[in-house]
Structure 1
Amino acid sequence: MKRLLAFLFVGLVAAAPCVALAQQLTVSAAASLTDAFKEVGAKFEATHPDVTVRFNFGASGMLLQQIRQGAPVDVFASADEQTVTRGVEAGLFDESTRRDFATNALVLIVPAAQGSPVKSVMDLSNPAVRRIAIGKVSTVPVGRYTQQALEKAMLWDALAPKFAQADSVRQVLDYVSRGEADAGFVYRTDAALMPGKVEIVQAVGGHDPVTYPVIAVSASREKALAKAFLDYLLTPSAQDILKRYGFSQS
């Protein structure tokens, strides 16, 4: 037994330098980036064998609140410019590292194969449309893009009683795919994930460009690694992954 314990101790001591060298990068990213970033993270890890990338996905505004409250995050990727700007103004982010790495499009979706009367934004006023899923304007960028588009079409106030507000763009997608909402506003990339359950009826304009900025968190303890990840997002390898998931290059 003593020999076994001694052997285990020597083994642990020998392994200690490897454990010390291991690094973890924590990335908080917009929910719409979930699928693409999981693949991007795996590719990044392949080029950095001693690094583990841990993702936290959610509504951009909610993620900002977590960072403001002290969540240990190294990199933040948002679905809008406004949320990053608020973080910069609050001193949470290193503005010198900010860069745009992808763009997207706002689309109107309906449940597939249900003979929806909705063919465009103007049809949302139809009495047959009882529930419209949108992201929460205060925390979900897709909700703000939706508000801008509907205000441009002079429909925001009239449609307000029909709104079912969701905590993320993925929740909007779920509401529509399950038929719990008659229509909803999501990004093109999200709609593409459920081709048999939702149908895109219109690409929606009248809003700010859907641009994805990424930035290093000022309190990060892995500043060099965070910069390496930011740089990687602009490489052909990462951009090819994003393109496959429907994102366009910024």
Structure 2
Amino acid sequence: MVATKSLARCLLLIVVASAKLNAASISVFAAASLNESLKEIAAAYEKQTGDKLICNFGASSLLARQIEEGAPADVFFSADEAKMDALEKKGLVTKGTRKSRLSNALVIVVAREEGATIRTPQDLASDKVKRLALAEPRTVPAGIYAKEYLQKQNLWPAVEAKVVPTENVRATLATVEGGNAEAGIVYKTDAAISKKVRIAYEIPPKEGPSIAYPMAALQGAREPEGAKRFLKYLDSAEAGRVFEKYGFIVRE
């Protein structure tokens, strides 16, 4: 009996050791707006699999450029299709791994305390808004989406001079939180995490741009199989529930 128990313990230790040896260290480059949701998903995934996830969050444009320049990334999770398209055209995306499962919405935010009174997008052109924070509208997805919407509403000429460009959508949020802009346009998911701003206007999906978050494994990945495993988990119902908790729209 003692020998049997000892053998069982030895076998268990071997299994655990083997799992640790086979565990992957997966580098994930992800849009800044995915920060909280992806960290929660990563913690659950690591606990289940033993794999280690190293997440690098930032503007999708910056991350894509880093990948083009050879940064060691296994998975790219972008906030727009264009950045993934550019990498795919350069042969940097592993075929058959790309999928767009998430969407989001744009909102206009103001400071929670004594913020500007904004009831319609047209109020952004009024004197009550002297500075409008946007993620860099030439390169960063959140800013590109915001500019697209403002152009569609014929508001861009009236607000362009007011724009305070920021590095990414989280920096846009911080700009409004700090009182350095009377209003900002961010993702609904970002507004939800802040206690210092409130949503003044939610842009109806039918009026706003089509927002998508493509994810894919990358060519030259150090952990190609680990990347595919994690992508499969990101496509699971379990991960989907976490994304929905943080306000993302999950497409099945």
When normalised by structure 2's length, the TM-score is: 0.88
Name 1:153's counterpart in structure 2. 153
Name 1:244's counterpart in structure 2. 245
1:131 aligns with 2:128: no
Name 2:48's counterpart in structure 1. 47
Name 1:25's counterpart in structure 2. 26
Cα separation, 2, equivalents of 1:115 and 1:162: 17
1:89 aligns with 2:112: no
Cα separation, 2, equivalents of 1:126 and 1:137: 21
How many angstroms does 1:115 deviate by?
4.6
Q: Which digits, 9 at most, give the CA deviation of each residue in 1:182-218, with x for residues without a partner? A: 0001000000001x31111112254431111101111
Report the residue type matching 1:204 in the other structure.
Answer: I
Larger CA deviation: 112-121 vs 222-231:
112-121
Q: Which digits, 9 at most, give the CA deviation of each residue in 1:113-171, with x for residues without a partner? A: 21513222100111121100001123310101011100011111221110000000000
Cα separation, 1, equivalents of 2:117 and 2:23: 55
Cα separation, 2, equivalents of 1:140 and 1:201: 23
How many angstroms does 1:25 deviate by?
0.1
Cα separation, 2, equivalents of 1:235 and 1:21: 22
Cα separation, 1, equivalents of 2:34 and 2:111: 22
Q: Which digits, 9 at most, give the CA deviation of each residue in 1:59-108, with x for residues without a partner? A: 00100000001000000001111111111011111242100121110111
4+ runs deviating over 3 angstroms: 16-22
Q: 1:71 to 1:172 in 2, by over 3 A?
A: same
Cα separation, 2, equivalents of 1:227 and 1:121: 42
What is the RMSD of the two structures over their aligned residues, measured on CA atoms? 1.9
Determine what percentage of the aligned residue pairs are the same residue. 38
Report the residue type matching 1:180 in the other structure.
Answer: N
1:210 aligns with 2:211: yes
Query: Secondary structure in 2 aligned to 1:210?
Result: coil
**Structure 2: gaps of 5 or more residues:** 1-13
Count of aligned pairs between the two proteins: 235
Report the residue type matching 2:156 in the other structure.
Answer: W
Cα separation, 2, equivalents of 1:18 and 1:228: 15
Contact 2:115 2:182 in 1 (8 A): no
Report the residue type matching 1:144 in the other structure.
Answer: I
How many angstroms does 1:17 deviate by?
7.6
Which protein is richer in strand relative to its size? 1
Contact 1:133 1:185 in 2 (8 A): yes
Q: Which digits, 9 at most, give the CA deviation of each residue in 1:204-234, with x for residues without a partner? A: 2544311111011111021111111111011
Contact 1:108 1:120 in 2 (8 A): no
Name 2:190's counterpart in structure 1. 190
